[in-house]
Amino acid sequence: MSSQFGKLFRISLYGESHGNSVGCIIEGLPPGFKVDLGFVHSRLDQRKPDSSGLTTSRNETDEYEVLSGLYDGKTTGTPLSVRFANKDQRSSDYRESDMVFRPGHADYTGFIKYNGANDPRGGGHFSGRLTAPIVFAGAIAEQILISKGIEVVSQLLSVGALQGKTLEEMNEATVRLIDGLKFAIHPDYSERFLEEIRKTGARGDSIGGVVETVITGVKPGIGEPFFDSLESTLAHGLFSIPGVKGVSFGAGFGLSRMNGSVANDRFLKNSKGTVITATNRSGGINGGISNGMPIKFDCAVKPTPSIAMAQETLDFGTMENSMLSIKGRHDPCVALRAVHVVRAVAAMVICDQIFISRGVNGSD
Amino acid sequence: MSSQFGKLFRISLYGESHGNSVGCIIEGLPPGFKVDLGFVHSRLDQRKPDSSGLTTSRNETDEYEVLSGLYDGKTTGTPLSVRFANKDQRSSDYRESDMVFRPGHADYTGFIKYNGANDPRGGGHFSGRLTAPIVFAGAIAEQILISKGIEVVSQLLSVGALQGKTLEEMNEATVRLIDGLKFAIHPDYSERFLEEIRKTGARGDSIGGVVETVITGVKPGIGEPFFDSLESTLAHGLFSIPGVKGVSFGAGFGLSRMNGSVANDRFLKNSKGTVITATNRSGGINGGISNGMPIKFDCAVKPTPSIAMAQETLDFGTMENSMLSIKGRHDPCVALRAVHVVRAVAAMVICDQIFISRGVNGSD
Amino acid sequence: MSSQFGKLFRISLYGESHGNSVGCIIEGLPPGFKVDLGFVHSRLDQRKPDSSGLTTSRNETDEYEVLSGLYDGKTTGTPLSVRFANKDQRSSDYRESDMVFRPGHADYTGFIKYNGANDPRGGGHFSGRLTAPIVFAGAIAEQILISKGIEVVSQLLSVGALQGKTLEEMNEATVRLIDGLKFAIHPDYSERFLEEIRKTGARGDSIGGVVETVITGVKPGIGEPFFDSLESTLAHGLFSIPGVKGVSFGAGFGLSRMNGSVANDRFLKNSKGTVITATNRSGGINGGISNGMPIKFDCAVKPTPSIAMAQETLDFGTMENSMLSIKGRHDPCVALRAVHVVRAVAAMVICDQIFISRGVNGSD
Amino acid sequence: MSSQFGKLFRISLYGESHGNSVGCIIEGLPPGFKVDLGFVHSRLDQRKPDSSGLTTSRNETDEYEVLSGLYDGKTTGTPLSVRFANKDQRSSDYRESDMVFRPGHADYTGFIKYNGANDPRGGGHFSGRLTAPIVFAGAIAEQILISKGIEVVSQLLSVGALQGKTLEEMNEATVRLIDGLKFAIHPDYSERFLEEIRKTGARGDSIGGVVETVITGVKPGIGEPFFDSLESTLAHGLFSIPGVKGVSFGAGFGLSRMNGSVANDRFLKNSKGTVITATNRSGGINGGISNGMPIKFDCAVKPTPSIAMAQETLDFGTMENSMLSIKGRHDPCVALRAVHVVRAVAAMVICDQIFISRGVNGSD
């Protein structure tokens, strides 16, 4: 158990890939906030599988029902519940009848944890399908942030060995363009990245990637050390996203190879008299608290474990070795869609942290 | 505010570097557990600054008082409170009188967050001094884990560009040896690492490093997805440690460059009939739940921001540029001591997760 | 915000009286637990309005959909989500168009808290309709408790000035009979109670009552002082039930008039060698922890604020005095139905406390 | 385990009666708040035992050390830790050597819960001594409330059968007078009450009482339904206070005997145009949310279980019946001192709820 995340802005998540539905309850929405459902739709569309061959072919409409918490297009201040009914339940593609657990998946660990009682169809509760309600919740959080001048942008920074430019290296127009893309990659090398993914998928394999996120407009002073630092709470949420195996802030693991004289971000004031830092190796966070610079982090996303290529594994029924070829079409690079989930989680965390800070300190 | 961490095994932390004391309350200790204070001492000694020139020269005895929760050498089941009185309060070494905030430190963000009311002496609440009670709590958690056959070992994997061997590459005797060292580095290259640190410190600079941790003996089935996955809860705690800027599990960021056919850990059974995986790129965690293999993660630790070399910064009183040379002796490589804090945090998280799992599922 | 209750066994609640639906997510259900939905139905039926004239005439079927968490009739161990679609939405009976707030209701406080954005129809989020999912969750908790030999029984102890017998004064067969009744009143005076309610309703008024609960079979040692004592956690949940304005344990307010020599429950052992107390003025709880005796508490339920009789109030639009006659048929004695909600909340709390105790202490 | 209470304004409590010390950590204090320690002292003095013969004769100075979180007399915004060292540890008065558990005490339940490992001396963690840090924390919360125009007053409303006047029946000067008294009783009958207590103590017995509390100045809109209603959160805290066995709001159990036409508080506006209610039977709370009227509740406090009179009990070592005469001097009426603890808990809850509301809604 723990399908809940956040302290004041809080999400409770439920669902299984091939059960009745997936959805969530969102608490802590300020009352009377006008929700732009068009914006929410556009965010959901970015995450949704499509027929490009670059994503799973699951035929989901991502239609949802708001069950509570919205009245006259505005948040009521009481819990907002949303439900995504599952339509495409082609269970036959999935190995529900046997015990040949998929390597790299939660089949085995879920079986052990839940004493074999968990819903095994399509990954059950561990399915990427659960990221739809997360993106929904994140899209509302994002709107709250936008109303405060805060923007969250995520992109696919690398695919396998192919490395792109960081958001900090791009101009604002490009960043804005990428923010609206389904495949959030710089146009200069987007086709190269996608071709790599396509080719990998075509040979029955999958590939990993890195998602980069930059959050601008967060005032200094947000974050709740000792234990609820910005890094701690962001990482907590980000590591919940299926496939994320690494999270780093600012220069990240690169900092481990630096000297302090290089790593330290020098303070100065800009032409408007605002405090900035000359570099941003700390990713906008000092001592777990925002310093006013862009908050920047990277997420390492592992390759989709579902691959068509034959793999050796164990038949847990007979405890004999067994070969497995996973049928169905799966995301050859789950990082491609994880981009939109990462942004959603980040938006929720920043919202929550702002509310907590405002609650204790009394300023906004 | 949030000086609390954990759900059933829980720590509440307080203190400032140069205030009266630092300490914590530990909740969720099973009643009647015999605490080996000798073991606790040895863990505290590992973290403690010394006169090697490799750590800050703060002259702390790390003596503590147990204020509650221990009776006849055993846990009472009620909160255990421990206090480390601050003795060495050479405030004069620290820049408390002025507003020339140190780059890379929480001076500025703390000042903003707490409206200038936080204790500025020696970093205040952001001081590494607060890791003493964390190590204390971790040492008790570790003993609980040991009683269940679980071991947590951390080492300094790299210093700057110098790269060591992973714990998985070493034999058990070496791992055990490293576990007891103050400078937890493989003896083959320990002197090289320490020399690099010494030289860096000598020229008034500091250097980063990577701390590697391996936890063995955790049964499959521990971890609480969706949001309290093992990765999420471990990362939450680890990112609270001052200086940690990256956390990755298993092959970590390397997974982002792999294909699924390589990244997937193949299941097989060993000679005893136990399920294992042929490789451990997932770091012992699938779907946020332990799979019975060693849990493995890396923490990127940035170089200590306190350096003797002159740095440019801003005088926040006058808002003019200013030069700063930080006096006092500081850890040239805080990763060296962070090793012991990382292990402590990891032990607490695993303890908590086992208790939660046992609470809901009813098995141990 | 706080639509969530419980630590390990946890419910998240949503919905509005006349919105799309009401429902909840239940977390912390042990995996593989076979749920008897017939039992759940019978509990829902007890709470449901009917045509007796003794309850609101809202025509709800209390049909529900399980959206997740049940597979093959057993809990999966992942969140169970349930939804009750609202069918009877005769909003015209309700004063949604104007600002003549009903005395004793949350109309005014909800309007202020939610800046006028909350759903005003039928009480919105404050509606008794939200107790349907609570009873659903409680009925599952009850089954978990029954599997451990624990039983929770609630009855209507008094209506207005009419006082019944306590459960402790009845024999087991009568207690069991009352447990299955819609109107959970001792048969000897049930007709008298119901006649009083009927007459009160007929003259356009309503009446209060006291709900008594007894929980048997709880082993000694459950409860988490200092702050999560059994009394604290039970009261927390009970005071969430609309209309509950007082909660007392054992002899309750009567204890304030006693001497210690009378109030103290003397320990003795029964014929089986089990520790019991000669009296049970403490309601089975000492120091916030169960002592093995029946846990006993009373809830004071205020009269339904919705009454047909004309009442003076304020028109918050014009800020002028105004007369109000509430249309529609409302429960003349909401305590009658609250009985089943009280039992549900009690079952959830005991479940949660047992799980927490088991998590920390490792025994069941 | 659960020695923690509150969400944003949070206390973590520790200690045993005859251990090293008792104390707490307070989180969520707004930074830069000037704490009037004189006020804190006066509150601690009210709670402290004295030589009047009306309280336990425990010779505690209630001296404390602030270990962190105060700097230059102001809150730092980081955790405030306070410690009360135990000085009077006359363990010999207490039955630590044997297993003759005291009726009405937590001796038995604590022994079972903690597997016999809890500190048995003087009640251990269940001691009234732990209310000293609660009063400390409450006195700071009270100051924060006072700065917002909110006042919390508690009094001893009744002792045994002797009934006093409610605070609502008194004029403001009398209320203010009572607020400062050690024995918070109306002067008209204070001597009668105290005489009753004295006589009861003299014959080796104890007596119960009711503590009434009124909180004025809370704006409408505070409280977090569904589950964190004002009643729920206040009751949660109040039932943690040793001896409290009943909590009721407004007319409380009296409401169970009323008709709705009487119980409903009619809205009107006063001469200043402010919304008030003609009566206050709801105790200032509708739907779990403050309505702007005084928040009023009563706590039933049981008679001190420690009495000098001989009592029958069980020797849990031999499992034979045994006689027990409790030595030492104990509070003949613990309600007398509970007054000050009730006020402290109430102040903390209101503080926390205001912070949460401000965090989500953004207004103060």
| ipTM over cut 0.90 | yes
Q: Does A270 touch chain B (CB under 8 A)?
A: no
Contact yes or no for D130/D13 (Cβ under 8 A): yes
What is the pLDDT, as a whole number, of residue B338?
Answer: 98
Cα torsion angle, D333, D337, D341, D343, sign: positive
What tokens appear for C258 in the block?
Answer: 């006693």
Q: Do D358 and A356 touch (CB under 8 A)?
A: no
CA distance C301 to chain D (A): 5
- The token pair at D347 is 């102040």
Q: Are D103 and C264 in contact (CB under 8 A)?
A: yes
Q: Given D14, D28, D71, which is nearest B25 (Cβ)?
A: D14
Predicted pLDDT at A91:
55
Number of domains in chain C: 1
Q: Is the pLDDT reported for residue D234 higher than 50? A: yes
More confident residue, D315 or B62: D315
CA D235 to CA D239: how far, in whole Å? 6
State pLDDT tens for residues A252-298. 999 999 999 999 999 999 999 899 999 999 999 999 999 999 999 99
* Residue of B232, B205, B322, B180 lying closest to B5 (CA atoms): B232
CATH number at residue D156: 3.60.150.10
Contact status of D7 with chain B (Cβ, < 8 Å) = no
CB A212 within 8 A of CB A268: no
Hey, are the CB atoms on D314 and C269 less than 8 Å from each other?
Answer: yes
Closest Cα partner for B80 from D241, D26, D13? D13
Mean pLDDT of D156-172: 97
Confidence (pLDDT) at C89: 62
* A39 shares contact with chain C (CB less than 8 Å): no
Q: What is the value of pTM for the model shown? A: 0.97
Query: Which residues are paired to A315 by β-bridges?
Result: A100, A320
- Reply yes or no: is the peptide bond before residue A267 cis, omega within 30 of 0: no
Identify the pLDDT of residue B50: 82
Average pLDDT over residues D140-161: 98
Exposure b/e, D306-324, CB count within 10 A at least 16 = b: bbbeebebbbbeeeeebeb
Residue of B177, B180, B183, B179 whose CA lies nearest to B198: B183
Pick the residue from chain A with its C-alpha nearest to C31.
A114
D2 Cβ under 8 Å from any chain C Cβ: yes
Helix, strand, coil shares, percent, chain D, to 5: 30, 25, 45
Q: Which of A350, A358, A361 is nearest to A9 (CA)?
A: A350
The answer to whether the beta carbons of residues A69 and A75 sit under 8 Å apart is yes
Beta-carbon contacts of residue B343 (< 8 Å; ≥ 6 apart): B138, B142, B152, B153, B154, B213
Name the residue among A252, A211, A35 with its Cα closest to residue A137: A35
pLDDT value at position C96? 45
What distance separates the 2 farthest-apart alpha carbons in chain C? Answer: 71
- Which residues span the domain enclosing C66? 4-361
Give how far Cα C184 sits from Cα of A334, B30, C49, C158, Å.
55, 41, 14, 11
Contact A77, A144 (CB under 8 A): no
Reading the block at residue C345, the tokens are 């909340």
Q: Is C113 on the interface with A (CB under 8 A)?
A: yes
pLDDT band for position C363 (cuts 50, 70, 90): low
Q: What is the mean pLDDT of chain D?
A: 94
Residue range D241-270: mean pLDDT, rounded: 97
What lies within 8 Å, CB to CB, of C41 at 6+ separation is none
Q: Does the pLDDT value for residue A96 go beyond 50?
A: no
Residue C268, φ and ψ in degrees, nearest 5: -155, 175
Q: D264 to chain C nearest CA, in Å?
A: 5
Q: Tell me which residue in C7, C30, C360 faces B361 most closely, judged by beta carbons.
A: C30
The CA-to-CA distance between both ends of chain C, in Å, stands at 33
Alpha carbons within 13 A on the beta-carbon side of D167: 28
Q: Give the number of C-alpha atoms closer than 13 A to the C-alpha of residue A243, restricted to the C-beta side.
A: 31
Q: Tell me how close the Cα of B190 comes to any Cα of chain D, in angstroms.
A: 38
Chain C residue at shortest CA distance from A32: C117
When mean pLDDT is compared across B17-31, B55-69, D149-163, D183-197, the lowest value belongs to: B55-69
Report the pLDDT averaged over residues A51-66: 80
For residue D157, give every residue at least 6 positions away whose Cβ sits within 8 Å of its Cβ, in sequence order, or none: D163, D164, D166, D209, D210, D211, D212, D298
Give ∠ CA C200-C203-C207 in degrees, rounded to 5: 25
C-alpha angle C340-C345-C348 in degrees, rounded to nearest 5: 125
pLDDT tens column, B265-278 = 999 999 998 999 99
Task: Tell me if B114 sits within 8 A of D30, measured CB to CB.
Answer: no
The DSSP bridge pattern shows strands A267-269 and A275-277 to be: antiparallel
SS (H, E, C) chain C: CCCEECCCCEEEEEECCCCCEEEEEEECCCCCCECCHHHHHHHHHHHCCCCCCCCCCCCCCCCCEEEECEECCEECCCCEEEEEECCCCCHHHCCCCCCECCCCCCHHHHHHHCCCCCCCHHHHHHCHHHHHHHHHHHHHHHHHHHCCCCEEEEEEEEECCEECCCHHHCCHHHHHHHHCCCCCCCCCCHHHHHHHHHHHHHCCCCECEEEEEEEECCCCCCCECCCECHHHHHHHHHCCCCCEEEEEECCHHHHHHCEHHHHCCCEEECCCCCEEECCCCCCCEECCEECCCCEEEEEEECCCCCCCCCEEEEECCCCEEEEECCCCCCCCCCHHHHHHHHHHHHHHHHHHHHHHHHHHHCCC
Amino acid B76: pLDDT:
96
Asked whether the beta carbons of residue B287 and residue A4 sit closer than 8 angstroms, the reply is: no
**D275-284: pLDDT as tens digits:** 999 999 999 9
pLDDT of residue C95: 47
pLDDT for the residue numbered B364: 55
Question: For chain A, what percent of residues have pLDDT higher than 90?
Answer: 85
Q: What is the pLDDT of residue D1?
A: 78
Q: List the end-to-end C-alpha distance of chain A, in Å, as a whole number.
A: 33
Query: Would the pLDDT of C97 be above 80?
Result: no
Please name the chains neighbouring B, where neighbouring means 3+ C-beta pairs under 8 angstroms.
A, C, D
For residues D109 and B51, the answer to whether their CB atoms sit within 8 Å is: no
Mean per-residue pLDDT over chain B, rounded: 94
Question: DSSP letter at A18?
Answer: T
Q: Which residue of A has its CA nearest to B250?
A: A245
Residue D263: strand, helix, or coil:
helix
Closest CA to D8 of D228, D295, D219, D221: D228
Over pLDDT 90: what percentage of chain B? 85
pLDDT digits (tens, 9 = 90+) for A170-218: 999 999 999 999 999 999 999 999 999 999 999 999 999 999 999 999 9
Cβ B288 vs Cβ B224: under 8 Å: yes
Q: What pLDDT was estimated at residue B327?
A: 84
Residues 6+ apart with CB under 8 A from A155: A164, A167, A178, A184, A185, A186, A211, A212, A213, A339
Average pLDDT over residues B279-288: 98
Give the residue on C whose Cα is nearest the Cα of B353. Answer: C359
- For D107, the token pair is 């001796």
Q: Is the pLDDT of residue D81 over 60?
A: yes
> Are the Cβ atoms of B8 and C364 closer than 8 angstroms?
no
Tokens of D68: 């962190």
Within 8 A by CB and 6+ apart from C321, the residues are C312, C313, C314, C315, D268
Contact of C363 with chain B, judged by CB distance below 8 Å, is answered with no
- HSE toward the beta carbon, residue C11, CA cutoff 13 A: 31
**Mean per-residue pLDDT for D260-288?**
96
Task: Please say whether the dihedral angle defined by the alpha carbons of residues C231, C237, C240 and C242, taken in this order, is positive or negative.
Answer: negative
pLDDT (tens digit per residue) in B16-57? 999 999 999 999 999 999 999 999 999 999 999 887 878 776
Task: Summarize pLDDT for B95-125 with one digit per residue, the tens.
Answer: 445 789 999 999 999 999 999 999 988 889 9
∠B135-B139-B143 over CA atoms, to 5°? 165
Q: What is the pairing mode between strands C21-27 and C80-85?
A: antiparallel
Task: Give chain B's end-to-end CA distance (angstroms, integer).
Answer: 33
E strands of chain D, at which residues? Answer: 4-5, 10-15, 21-27, 65-68, 70-71, 74-75, 80-85, 151-159, 162-163, 209-216, 244-249, 267-269, 275-277, 285-286, 289-290, 295-301, 311-315, 320-324
Distance CA A286, CA A263 (A): 12
Report the pLDDT value the prediction gives residue D195, as an integer from 0 to 100: 97
pLDDT at B96: 45
Using CB atoms, pick whichever of D4, D20, D79 lies closest to residue B68: D20
According to the model, what pLDDT value does residue A95 have? Answer: 47
Residue C26 above 50 pLDDT? yes
Q: How far apart are CA C22 and CA D222, in angstroms?
A: 24
Strand partners for C286: C289
Q: Which residues of D200-212 are buried (b: 16+ CB within 10 A; e: fewer)?
A: bbeebbbbbbbbb
Chain D residues within an 8 Å CB radius of B75? 117
Contact D117 B77 (CB under 8 A): yes
With contacts defined as CB-CB under 8 Å, which chain C residues touch B355? Answer: 359-360
**Alpha carbon distance B61, B45 (integer Å):** 9
